[in-house]
Structure 1
Amino acid sequence: MWLLAFFSIVLFSNQIAAQQWKGKWIGLASQDTNLTNIWAGFRKDFNIDRLPKQAIAKIAVDSKYWLYVNDKLVVFEGGLKRGPNPSDTYYDEVDISKHLKKGSNTIAIKVWYFGKHGFSHHSSGKLGLLFDLQSEKFELYSDNSWLVKRLVEYQSAPGKEPNFRLPESNILYDARLGNQGWYSSEGKLTSFEPAIEHGAFGSAPWNKLVKRPIPLWKDFGLKAFRSQDIVRKGDTIICKLPYNMQFTPYFDIEANAGDSIHIVTDNYLYYNGSAENLRAAYIAKNGRQQYESLGWINGHMLYVIVPEHVKINQLMFRETGYDTEFTGFFECSDPFFNTLWQKAARTLYITMRDTYMDCPDRERAQWTGDVVLEAQEAFYTLDPSSHALARKWLYELIGWQKADGVLFSPVPAGNWDKELPDQALASIGYYGIWMYYMHTGDKQVLQDLYPAIQKYISLWEKDKEGLVLLREGGWQWGDWGEHKDMLLLYNLWYYLALKGSYLMADEMGYKEDMHRIGAEMKQFKQTFNQRFWNGTAYRNPSYSGKTDDRVHALAVLADIADKNKYDLILDVFSKQEHASPYMEKYVFEAMYKMRQPGLANARHKKRFAEMVNNPNFTTLFEGWGIGKDGYGGGTINHAWSGGGLTIMSSEVCGIKPLEPGYKTFSVTPQLGDLSFAKAKVSSIKGEIESAITQSANQMTVTFNVPKGTTAVFELPLKEYTSILINGVPVDDAIQKGKIAVRNSDGQWILPEGKWEIKISI
C-alpha cells in the first residue's frame, strides 16, 4: 500500500489543471504490453481560420516525446519520467501559437515508450499520448480522429541490454524501414491508422496529471566537431567533446544499404561504473543520409564505429540539459580550488535532468542523500531557475512515502523500494528541506511536507534515555568505505533531522511542536555526550573499528560537540581519513566551522588531489579512484564529490543566508592560507559578489548588498590596528548610523549598497 492522496491531491493540487480536459488518451491499435522500447508517430492535420495569440498545448505521455508543428521541431525530448508518486503522471505545457498559420496545419508527435521500470522511472505499462489545446480561437485535442503508426524503424540494438537500473533501451534505427518525412505536411500518410482511445483525463494507468514543475530542456543546438578533435583509426572514429555532457550524436554519411554503425562513448567503454550502460546503433539505407540518435548519452569522447568504406560528411552533437545558467562564480589564489570548483560545477550540471541523479550513465537515479549535496551546490553555481529541481525532489520524496511512513530512495522508481535511513534523515532535516528553505524562502514546501516528515521521524525507535536505535531499514549504508560507526552516524543524522523540524515548527508557528522537539534535542545532546564521548573521541563502546571521522564532522555541525572538544576532534581529522567523497564535504565544513580553514584546505587538497589534478576528466569521480579503485562501481561523474564547491563559496567567501530567501545573509570570509578569493552567488534577491584580499599587514573585503536585503559582516581577524568602512573609521560609521553593531564579537549589520572594509593588521 502507498501513501498517494496527500501528495497528488493536496500538495500539487494547485498544479493540476482546473480547466476541464477534453483530450483523450490515445495509442496504437494493438500493443503487446510486454514489449519495451516502442516508438510511435501520432499526427493530426487541421485548419485554422483565426490565429490565437496564445495556444498552450497540454501534453502527457509515457515516456518521452518530440513535438513537430508544421514541419518544425518545437520540443526536443518532452515529458518527464514517471512519476510524482507511484500512480500519477507529469504533463507539459507548450505554447505553440508562433508556429501555427492560417489555413492547413500539421501537428506530429513522436513518442518513445520505455516499457520497463528503472531507478528513475515507474512505467505505466502502456504507451499513451494525451494532447489538449483549448484557446480562445480554436481547440485541438487527441481522440480517434488522430492518426498513428508504429515506427518500426526504431528497435532495440542487439547484444547486452542496459543494466536493470536504467529504464531506457539501446536504440537501433534501421533507415531501410524509416520514412523520415512522416511528420511533414508533405509527407505520405503510409501505414497510418486511426488512434485507439484509452480513456479520458484521469484514466488508468496514467491517472492524475501533474504539471511539469521544471522547465523544458535547454537545447544548445547541433554543433560540429572540430577537425582537430576527430581521429579515425580504421573502422573507428573518435570525437572529442568539449567536456562531459548530456548529448545526442548526429552524422551525415554516404553508405550502402545494410551497413551497420555503432555509437558509444568512453563512459560506455571504459568508465561505466561496472555496469552495462547505454549505446546506440544504426543500419544504413543506400546513399547519402543523416541521422540523430535521440536517446541522450554522455561522456568526454564519442566513438562511431563504421565500415571503412563509409564516407563521413559531417559529425555533430547536440547538448541538452536543465534550462539554467552558470551565474555563480568562484576564484582564488590557489589553482587547485579553482579547478575543484569548475569540475564540481560541470559534474553538478551533468547530474541534472528529469531529477537530480547520482550519475548520468550507470543509474540516473535520485539517491536522496546525493541530492542534499547537489541542491546546495546549485544554490552557489546556478541561477534561481535551478531551484525547481530541488523542489521537485522534495515533493517526490514525500509523494512516494509508504502508508506506514517509510521514506525510500531513489524515486521515482519501479523496481526499488528500500529505505536508506541516513539519507532519508539528511533529506528531511537541516541539510535537506531546511537548507532549501533558507536559500529559496519557499514556505509552502514546509507547510506541505512537514506532516509527512513528522510521520517518518516517529518511526525511529529510541532507548530509555532518548537515543535512537540502529534502524534496519532496507540498506544500512551510512557511506561508502570502511570504519563506519553506524549507531553514532544514525543518531547524529536523526539529531540534524530534529534540528530541521525544530526550525520548521518555529517558522510556521507550531509552538507546541517546537517546545517538544527542543526539549528532546536538549536531552539528546546531553545523553549522546555522556554515552559516546570517551575523553578523546566519539565512539560507540561496542564499535571495534577505527575512529570514524564522519561522526566527528556531524557532531561539530550539529552542535553536539562543544568548542572545548575541538582540539581533540581536530586530532581525529589529522589521523583518520575514512569518509568517501560524499561525506568528506561534511568534514570540510566542520573544520571551517571550527575556524581552521588552513587545515581544512590542506586535508581537502590531499584527499581530492587525484581527481582534481587529473587532466583527462572535466568531472569528479564517485570514489577516490576510477573503476575498481572507486566505490560503487567507480563512475567518473558523481556530483556528491563536489561538496567543496559549496564550502568555497559559503565558507571561504562566507556568503550564506541567515534568514529565509536571503533577506539577511552573512559575509564571513575565512581565507586561511589563500591570498585572495572572490565569489558571486545568484540569490533570489539578486546577485551577491564578494572579493577578499589579504597580505601580511592588511585585509580588504568588498561586497554588495542587494536591494531589500541586509548583510551581517563578521570580522575575520581577532587582532587588528584599524578598520575603515567605505573609507570611514568603523566607530565613525557606527556613530553616523551607516552600519549597526550586531554584537560585541565583531559583527556589523550593513544595509543595501556597496561596501569596502579595510582591516589593517
Structure 2
Amino acid sequence: LFLVAGPFAPGDEELRRAAGDKDESLLLAQAADPACTAEAGEAFWEHASLEAPGGGDVCYRDAVLHGHRLQVVQAADIAADDVFVRAYTDQVTDAPGRAENLDALLAGSDWTTIHPADGADVRLLLDFGRGLNALQRFQLDAPAGTVVDVHNFEFIQPDGRYNLAEGMNNSFRYVCRNGRQSYQSWLHRGFRYTYLIFRELTAPVKLRRVQALFHSYPQRRVGQFASADAQLDRIWEAGALSLRCCAEDTYTDCPTYEQTNWVGDARNEALVDWAINGDPRLWYRCLEQTGQSLDRSPITESHVPSGWRNLLPAWSFLWMRSCREYLLYSGDRAGAARLLAYLDRNVAGLRGFLNADGLLDIRAWNMFDWAAMDTPTRGVVTHQNCLAVHALRDAGELAEWLGEPGRAAEWRALAAELTTAINQHLWVEARGAYTDCLRDGGPSEVFSQQTQTAACMAGVAAGEREARCRAAMHHPPEGFVVAGSPFFEFFLLEAYQQEGRDQEFLDTILRDWGFMVDMGATTFWEMWSGRGGRLTRSHCHGWSAAPTYFLSTWVLGVRPGGVGFSPCLVEPHPGDLRWCRGIVPTPHGTVEVQWENEPGLPFALRLTAPPELPLTVRLPRAGSATLNGEPIDVDGAA
C-alpha cells in the first residue's frame, strides 16, 4: 500500500500515475483547505500543533482535526540508526573476539559469555538448521545500555553468498537494562539464520536459551511419503515444511516478506495441506474470506484482508477452482453451498469485464508467473481468458454436484462462448500458438509456455491447435518465454497428469525441485533467477510446494474419485520407481498404501483403509492387490 499524505498536494504527474497504476492501491490524501501548505507542515513538526498559520484548523479529506496536540515521540526513544542497515553494512575487523562456552547455546541450560572486543561490536551467527516461521526468545545478564541487534535471514548459498533480508526489515533491537533479563519478540519472522550483534559492550555479557518458537497453524501430519528415491522423500518433506511455515490463521505467501493470504497461492497451498494434514478448516476459512472481498470489488481480490484493493484475475479464477476442489476433497456440502453464492457474484463480476468481442478485457494486475510474459495492466490478456474458461467449467461442475443444474449450464455456456472468442481473436496461425495479449488491436509479439499451458489445461485448444500447443508447452520454441517459478510448474505438472506422462512428471520434480534441495534448501523458493547470482527472493513460499501434493496423490496414487472421496481412487503412477509407501488422509480416515514395481515381476499393491470407505483400485500394469490383508480384484490386474 502506497500512501501519499501530508500538507503537500499531489501534482498532475502524481495524479496521472495514480490513475494508471493497476488499481486504486496508490492512495492520495489531498488537502481540502488551501491553508494546508508546506509552511503549515513545517509548523506542525516544529510545534506539534495542528493549527494553521493565522489560526483555524488544518483540514484533510475525510477528517478535520480540531487543534488536538499529538504526543511527541522523544528523540531518546527513536533508534539513532537503522538496525537492518547496520547489520547489512557491518565490516569484519581484525579485533580479537572472545566468547566462552559457545556450545552451551546448543543445550540452553548454561551461560555463554561474550567479552568486549577492543571497542568493536561482537557478532554471532546462529544456524537453526531449517527454515522457520518463529518468535524469538533469549535470556541475558548484561550491563545497562548494552545493545543487542538481531537480524534474521533465510539462506547461505553454496557459493558463500549470504541472502540477507534485502527489500524488507527482518531485524529488531533490544536495549538491556542492568542485570538478568529475558526477551521474547512480539512479531514472528521467517528465517533459518540469525545474526546476534552485541553493541555498546562495556563489560562481559552472558547469554543463554536462545530459542525459536515455531508459529504455525496446528499440523496433524497424518500424511506420509517414502520411496525408492531418497531425493523424492527429501522433496516431499521440504514441501511439508514450506506449507507449515505458510499456515497461520490463513495460508500465507511466505513467513518472511508479505505474510499475506494471496488467493492464488492459497489454492495450491490448500491441496498441499490436504496431502499432509487432511484438515479442511483453514482451506474453508480462506475461501470464505476471499468471497467476502466481493462486498467491495467486482471480482474477488488478490489478497485478503487488505487495505490494498487489488484485482489479480488469475487469482480470482484459481479461487473459483479451489471452491470445487474443496468439496471434492472435504465432502462438506453445506460449506460448499455457502461458497456457491460467492461464486455467483464472482461470475456476474466477470461478465461485466467482457468486451464487444466476448473477451475478458480488464484493468488489473495481469500476472501469472514471475517471467517476461506480455501482461499489460489494461486490455485482453490470453492466459486470463483461458483461466476464466477453466474456472467456469470447474464452477459448473461444483454447481452440478450441489444440485444446481441451471447454474451449471449457464456457467458452462459462458465458458464455451469465451472459448470461441479466444480461438477467434488470440490464436496466431503463423506461430502455431496463442499470443500473450492484444496490443493496439493486434496480437503481441510475445509468446509463452505459460499461455500455451493455460490454453491446454482449460480445454480452449482443440484438435491440431491442441497438438501444437502441447508441443510448445513441453518444448518451448526459441524465443518463447519459459517457466519463471515453481508456482507455474504446478500447472505444468497438472498437464503431465492429464497426458499420463508419468516419467516426465517425476523427472521434472527431480530436476527443478531437486535443484533447490541440492543447493541446501529446506523449504521451497518463490522463484528461480536463472541459477546464478542470488538464487531467489523468498526462500520459503508455500505456492512452490507442489510435489508434496502430487507425490501423494499421483505417484503414491490416492485421490478422490468423487465428492468427499466417494469413491476413493487408488491408482499409482510409478514411472521408474521400484517401490513407494505412504499415508493419505480422507474424510473417512487414512488410507495406507505400499506398492512394489520390480522389473520382470507383477505389480504388487497393499492397502489398508477404513471398511466404510468405497474404493476404486487401478494398477498401472498386471499384478495383484490386497485390502486390509485380503486379496481383491482390481482394474489392470491379471
Given candidates 586, 592, 596, the residue that maps to 1:683 is: 586
Aligned-partner residue type, residue 613 of structure 2: T
Q: After superposition, what is the alpha-carbon deviation per residue over 1:622-676, rounded to whole angstroms, capped at 9, x for unaligned? A: 1114999579x71111111111221111111221112222221211211112222
Q: Determine the structure 2 residue equivalent to 1:281.
A: 173
Given candidates 263, 266, 287, the residue that maps to 1:371 is: 266
Aligned-partner residue type, residue 274 of structure 1: E
User: Structure 1 residue 343: deviation in Å?
Assistant: 0.9
Given candidates 379, 394, 397, the residue that maps to 1:500 is: 394
Q: After superposition, what is the alpha-carbon deviation per residue over 1:144-171, rounded to whole angstroms, capped at 9, x for unaligned? A: xxxxxxxx9x9776644999xxxxxxxx
Backbone CA RMSD of aligned residues: 3.7
Q: Determine the structure 2 residue equivalent to 1:380.
A: 275
How many pairs align? 516
The alignment partner of 2:169 has SS state of coil
CA distance 1:279–1:393, shift in 2 (3 Å): same
Aligned-partner residue type, residue 396 of structure 1: Q
CA distance 1:674–1:484, shift in 2 (3 Å): farther
CA contact 1:707–1:752 (8 Å) conserved in 2: no
Aligned-partner residue type, residue 426 of structure 1: L
Given candidates 338, 360, 366, the residue that maps to 1:469 is: 360
Q: After superposition, what is the alpha-carbon deviation per residue over 1:356-390, rounded to whole angstroms, capped at 9, x for unaligned? A: 11111111111111001111100001242xx2211
User: Structure 1 residue 606: deviation in Å?
Assistant: 2.9
Alignment of 1:486-565 (within 5 A): 487-525=381-419, 528-529=422-423, 537-540=432-435, 542-545=442-445, 547-561=447-461
CA contact 1:619–1:636 (8 Å) conserved in 2: yes
Residue 427 in 1 paired to residue 319 in 2?
yes
2: distance between equivalents of 1:324 and 1:751? 27
Alignment of 1:538-687 (within 5 A): 538-540=433-435, 542-545=442-445, 547-561=447-461, 568-576=468-476, 577-615=482-520, 617-625=521-529, 634-687=537-590
User: Structure 1 residue 602: deviation in Å?
Assistant: 2.2
1: distance between equivalents of 2:339 and 2:330? 15
Alignment of 1:342-421 (within 5 A): 342-384=237-279, 387-403=280-296, 405-414=298-307, 416-421=308-313
Residue 706 in 1 paired to residue 610 in 2?
yes
CA distance 1:709–1:465, shift in 2 (3 Å): farther
Q: Could you tell which deviates more after superposition, 483-492 or 446-455?
A: 483-492
CA contact 1:340–1:612 (8 Å) conserved in 2: yes
The alignment partner of 1:707 has SS state of coil
Q: After superposition, what is the alpha-carbon deviation per residue over 1:509-560, rounded to whole angstroms, capped at 9, x for unaligned? A: 2222122223333454455456656678531384445542223333343344
CA contact 1:703–1:756 (8 Å) conserved in 2: no
Aligned-partner residue type, residue 414 of structure 2: E
CA contact 2:105–2:208 (8 Å) conserved in 1: no
CA contact 2:219–2:244 (8 Å) conserved in 1: no
Given candidates 106, 119, 122, the residue that maps to 1:225 is: 106
Q: Determine the structure 2 residue equivalent to 1:183.
A: none
Q: After superposition, what is the alpha-carbon deviation per residue over 1:275-316, rounded to whole angstroms, capped at 9, x for unaligned? A: 222322222222222222232223112222223721224433
1: distance between equivalents of 2:453 and 2:564? 27
1: distance between equivalents of 2:240 and 2:142? 40
User: Structure 1 residue 350: deviation in Å?
Assistant: 0.4
CA contact 1:247–1:317 (8 Å) conserved in 2: yes
Alignment of 1:330-349 (within 5 A): 330-349=225-244
TM-score, normalization by structure 2? 0.72
Residue 327 in 1 paired to residue 222 in 2?
yes
2: distance between equivalents of 1:262 and 1:161? 7
2: distance between equivalents of 1:391 and 1:352? 13
Residue 252 in 1 paired to residue 139 in 2?
yes
2: distance between equivalents of 1:436 and 1:752? 32
1: distance between equivalents of 2:336 and 2:128? 42
CA contact 2:140–2:206 (8 Å) conserved in 1: yes
2: distance between equivalents of 1:358 and 1:628? 24
User: Structure 1 residue 573: deviation in Å?
Assistant: 3.3
CA distance 1:699–1:290, shift in 2 (3 Å): same
Q: After superposition, what is the alpha-carbon deviation per residue over 1:216-273, rounded to whole angstroms, capped at 9, x for unaligned? A: xxxxxxx973489x99896122222142112222222221111111222124995456
CA contact 1:627–1:635 (8 Å) conserved in 2: no
Q: Could you tell which deviates more after superposition, 636-645 or 372-381?
A: 636-645
Given candidates 161, 182, 205, the residue that maps to 1:290 is: 182
CA distance 1:578–1:320, shift in 2 (3 Å): closer
Gaps of 5+ in 2: 1-5, 7-62, 64-73, 86-103, 157-161, 477-481
Aligned-partner residue type, residue 572 of structure 1: A
CA contact 2:135–2:188 (8 Å) conserved in 1: yes
2: distance between equivalents of 1:417 and 1:459? 15
The alignment partner of 2:411 has SS state of helix
User: Structure 1 residue 678: deviation in Å?
Assistant: 2.3
CA distance 1:626–1:374, shift in 2 (3 Å): farther
Residue 694 in 1 paired to residue 597 in 2?
yes
Q: Determine the structure 2 residue equivalent to 1:3.
A: none
The alignment partner of 1:321 has SS state of coil
CA distance 1:563–1:300, shift in 2 (3 Å): farther
2: distance between equivalents of 1:423 and 1:629? 30
CA contact 2:131–2:154 (8 Å) conserved in 1: no
User: Structure 1 residue 351: deviation in Å?
Assistant: 0.8
Q: Determine the structure 1 residue equivalent to 2:338.
A: 448
1: distance between equivalents of 2:125 and 2:236? 28
The alignment partner of 2:304 has SS state of coil
The alignment partner of 2:413 has SS state of helix
Q: After superposition, what is the alpha-carbon deviation per residue over 1:367-418, rounded to whole angstroms, capped at 9, x for unaligned? A: 111001111100001242xx2211111111122224452321211112x111
Gaps of 5+ in 1: 1-33, 35-124, 126-151, 164-222, 727-749
2: distance between equivalents of 1:627 and 1:357? 25
Considering fraction of residues, name the structure with more helix.
Answer: 2
1: distance between equivalents of 2:628 and 2:414? 37
1: distance between equivalents of 2:113 and 2:584? 40
CA contact 2:561–2:569 (8 Å) conserved in 1: yes
